[in-house]
Amino acid sequence: MYLIDRTIQFVRGFLLSYGPQEIKRRVWDREYRNNKWYFRDNTIGDCVYPPLENYSRKGSILDLGCGSGNTATEIADSAYASYLGVDISQAALEKASARTKQTGREGKSRFARADFLEWQPSGEQFDVILFRESIYHIPLDRIKATIDRYSIYLKEGGVFIVRLFAANPKTAKIKHRPIAMLRIIEDEFDVIESRRYETKGRPALLVFRPRQRDDVEKAG
């Protein structure tokens, strides 16, 4: 049974990072429609909120892999002026839009259905670009290129925030792929804040920016 579960998890993980867009969309839609992610409906008090609220500077947030609207509805209303959530799952976005209306935030929040590996913002720039438990779905060898591609959509002084679990919240087993992702970011970007928490699932949080040209030249 253990071996079957592990194999299913491996195939799922592989498809969600490397599979065609249509397969990824179908898997996520089915999981959201089957309420697999209902526990994400309440994440008030999560470690992502203090840095997100601080670095948003009452400005704009781009949330890549936004899911069913927890960040859009739980972040302090006074901390930002506009929010754009992007997700591959239509089912997730329907839920996110409904929750946004319920909380009266539809005036400052928008959602778009797209694969963040390909999607391009239409010219606007953001104070924060967030990957909240969604960076797992970028192939390891595309992490740097994907973040580099989004860098031009950061405002002057803007930051990326990545929040992930470094261990399995149920079994407490360390997850090597997310840790490798943290290492790539630490090696390739200017890290402003790095936090590791010892609570369930060992949440980790990085706030970072693209390297300045001078730093790149020094490093090279």
Ligand X SMILES: C[S@@+](CC[C@H](N)C(=O)[O-])C[C@H]1O[C@@H](n2cnc3c(N)ncnc32)[C@H](O)[C@@H]1O
Residues within the interface to ligand X (CB under 6 A): 24, 28, 40, 65-67, 70, 86-89, 92, 115-117, 132-134, 137
* Residue 187 one-letter amino acid: D
* Of 168, 162, 186, the residue nearest 13 (C-alpha): 168
Q: What is the smallest separation between the CB atom of 192 and ligand X, expressed in angstroms? A: 21
Q: What is the smallest separation between the CB atom of 158 and ligand X, expressed in angstroms? A: 19
Q: What is the smallest separation between the CB atom of 120 and ligand X, expressed in angstroms? A: 13
* Residue 153 one-letter amino acid: Y
Residues in the chain, overall count: 220
By beta-carbon proximity to ligand X, the closer residue of 43 and 125 is 43
The rounded Cα 201 to chain-centroid distance in angstroms is 16
Nearest residue relative to ligand X (C-beta) = 67
By beta-carbon proximity to ligand X, the closer residue of 18 and 190 is 18
Assign 33 to helix, strand or coil: helix
128-146 as b/e: b if 16+ CB within 10 A: bbbbbbbbbbbeeeebeeb
Q: What is the smallest separation between the CB atom of 217 and ligand X, expressed in angstroms? A: 33
Q: What is the smallest separation between the CB atom of 60 and ligand X, expressed in angstroms? A: 17
Tokens of 32: 């959201």
By beta-carbon proximity to ligand X, the closer residue of 116 and 208 is 116
Assign 83 to helix, strand or coil: strand
By beta-carbon proximity to ligand X, the closer residue of 86 and 167 is 86
By beta-carbon proximity to ligand X, the closer residue of 84 and 88 is 88
Q: How far is residue 158's CA from residue 125's CA, in Å, rounded to a whole number?
A: 9
Q: Evaluate whether 161 touches 131 at the Cβ level (below 8 Å).
A: yes
By beta-carbon proximity to ligand X, the closer residue of 115 and 188 is 115
Q: What is the smallest separation between the CB atom of 126 and ligand X, expressed in angstroms? A: 16
Calculate helix-pair angle for 90-102, 21-33, nearest 10 degrees. 50
